[in-house]
Structure 1
Amino acid sequence: MEHMKKKYRIKKNDEFQEVFKKGKSVANRQFVIYVLDRPEQSYFRIGLSVSKKIGKAVVRNRVKRYIRQVFQEERDRIQVGKDYVIIARVPVATMEYEEVRKSLLHVLRRANAFY
C-alpha cells in the first residue's frame, strides 16, 4: 500500500487546534471526526488522534494504520478542500480492519465527506 504523502497529513498542533475550533464534528461509538473546509486546498488532509487510553504503542499504531488504509482505499470518493481530524475512541482498540472500515465509513458519510 502506498503511503499518504506528507502534505496530506496534519501534523502540527496548531493545525489540529484550528480544526477542533472551527470545524464541524460528527461521532459514533468508535470515532469522532472533525471536518474543516479549506476551499483553497486541492487535496484533503487527515490528522489522527489516538490517545494512550486506546492502548500501548503497538495497538495505537495498528489503529492509525487501519484509519490511513481506509482513507487510502476511499481517496477517490473523499471531498478535497477539507481537513479531517479523526479521533479514535476506546472500542476501536479491539476491532479488526473490516469493523474499523465500516464504522469509519459510517461517520464519514454522516460528515458528508464523500462526493
Structure 2
Amino acid sequence: MLTESERLARRRDFAAVYARKRSWAGPLLVLYVRRYLEEEAAVVTRRFGFSVSKKVGKAHDRNRVKRRLREICRLHSLDWCGGFDAVFVARSGAADAEYSALEAAVGHLMVRAGLRAVREAEPPKPGP
C-alpha cells in the first residue's frame, strides 16, 4: 500500500496536476504529471493519484482498477525518479485488462513522460 505521503488526496493537489497540462495517453490509461523543481524535489519525492470514473464500470470494477494501480505504483516506485506528482486516469478498457497489461501500460506511460530512473548496472552475481 502506498503511504499517506505518497498519495494525492486533496482536490487542490489533483487540480494542480491537471493545471500543468502535461499528459500522455495510452489505450488503458492517461497520465498527468506535475514535476517539481530540484529544490522542491528534495522535500517531495513522488506522489500518485488515481481517478476512475463510472465509465469504467460498477463500483467493484473501479475499486479493483484503483487497487491494481496502487500496487503497481508501490512495487515500481524505486524505478522512477523523484520530484513529481502523477495522476492516472483509467479509461473504459482498464476494468477488463489483466494486471500485466495495466503494469505494462503504467511503465510505458512513465517512460514516455521521462520519469524512468536510470539505475546503475548491478554487478554480476558470482556463479557456482
Question: Quick check: TM above 0.5?
Answer: yes
**Which whole-Å deviations, capped at 9, do the CAs of 1:47-75 have from their partners, x for residues lacking one?**
10000111111111110111111111111
Whichever of the two has the greater Rg, that structure is 2
Structure 1 residue 32, shift from structure 2 partner: 0.7
**Which whole-Å deviations, capped at 9, do the CAs of 1:8-52 have from their partners, x for residues lacking one?**
111111111110011411111111101101231341000100001
1:63 is aligned, of 57, 62, 65, to: 65
For 1:43, the equivalent position in structure 2 comes to 45
Q: Tell me which amino acid in the other structure corresponds to 2:33.
A: V
1:27 is aligned, of 25, 28, 43, to: 25
For 1:114, the equivalent position in structure 2 comes to 116
Detail structure 1 runs of 4+ shifted over 6 Å in the superposition.
none
For 1:18, the equivalent position in structure 2 comes to 16
CA distance in 2 between partners of 1:75 and 1:6 (Å): 14
TM-score, normalised by the number of residues in structure 2: 0.83
SS at match of 2:16: helix
TM-score, normalised by the number of residues in structure 1: 0.92
Q: How many residues align?
A: 113
SS at match of 2:48: strand
For 2:92, the equivalent position in structure 1 comes to 90
